Homo-oligomer: A and B are copies of this chain.
Amino acid sequence: MPLEQLGYVGGRLDRADHIRMNPDQAAQALASPGARCLVLDGLDPVTQDGHLLMEPVATDASLDDHLLLGLDDEQRPVFVRLAQEVGSNFFPSPRSRAIVTEIPADEVALYGAARSLVHWHGRHPFCSVCGSRTSPEKAGWARRCGACNAEHFPRVDPVVIMLAEHEGRVLVGRQHSWPEGFYSALAGFVEPGETIEEAVMREIKEEAGVTVHAVRYVMSQPWPFPSSLMIACIGQANDDALKLDETEIQHAFWCDAAGVRAALAGKADAPFTAPPPMAVAHHLLKHWADAQVAPPGPSA
């Protein structure tokens, strides 16, 4: 995938909801001669010749452990096999990070969807309502409890990731565990009972002590570690005073557009190391910097 492109975005499969909802059609899809199965190594991707590795579906395959990812451009069903043990695995592995530059963008997105779904199934063999066993249904897009009949659906966890903006500068921060010099946009999960905009205001206040208003949405990205929906926003800060939550944020500072541009370009004298293009924070910073008045060039 092109180096500059946002990761896990641009899936091309037809998710074929009508097949999922019909057990007979789902079984036919699994048994069809063109059906293929995405190969994973645990939760990691497996590639071959610059593509995700796919294999024919085994003749004894069952919908008990196969999830229909969708139909490809030639209407061939693509499945992924569900795993019994996935561990916690909430963070990307080196292998899952590496593929973003090795395979086409739509395949990165396909891997991301598969990873989230396989992870979710692996963490949900039991019913949260009654503690009994659950099993997949709807071609892997739900699980049902064999005892209390409760239906459970894959999670998607909305996360706000945002820049506070103040007089031509934006706030970037870093967590204690990050590599030295690495800064990004602040982020946090949207909680029950709040809008996207309210979540942005709460998180920036909690983490940096900054009050923002006039929050605007910029873009979104699925982040499959394990199943976030990143919602990128910019808010106007009332002032530039910082009061960091030092358990979460090790350091934060206001950076001007020249500094952000230098960081995105990976310059040695940049004021910080920016997230790579696979991450939405990179594009959020770029979106902001592109909208600032460009500094006069040498000949201006």
Contact = CB atoms under 8 A, between A and B. Distances in A.
Nearest to A188: B17
Interface residues of A, number: 61
Nearest to A151: B88
B15 A156 contact: no
Contacts of A224: 192-193
Interface string A116-138: 11001001111111111110000
Contact of A18 (B126, B217, B245): B245
A98 B16 CA distance: 38
How many subunits of this chain does the assembly comprise? 2
A253 interface: no
Contacts of A131: 125-127, 131-133
A189 B156 contact: yes
Contacts of A113: 191-194
Given A125-B131, A127-B131, 9 more contacts: A15-B191, A113-B192, A113-B194, A116-B193, A124-B128, A154-B192, A158-B158, A192-B224, A195-B221
9 contacts: A9-B198, A15-B202, A17-B206, A112-B192, A116-B192, A125-B129, A125-B131, A154-B192, A155-B192
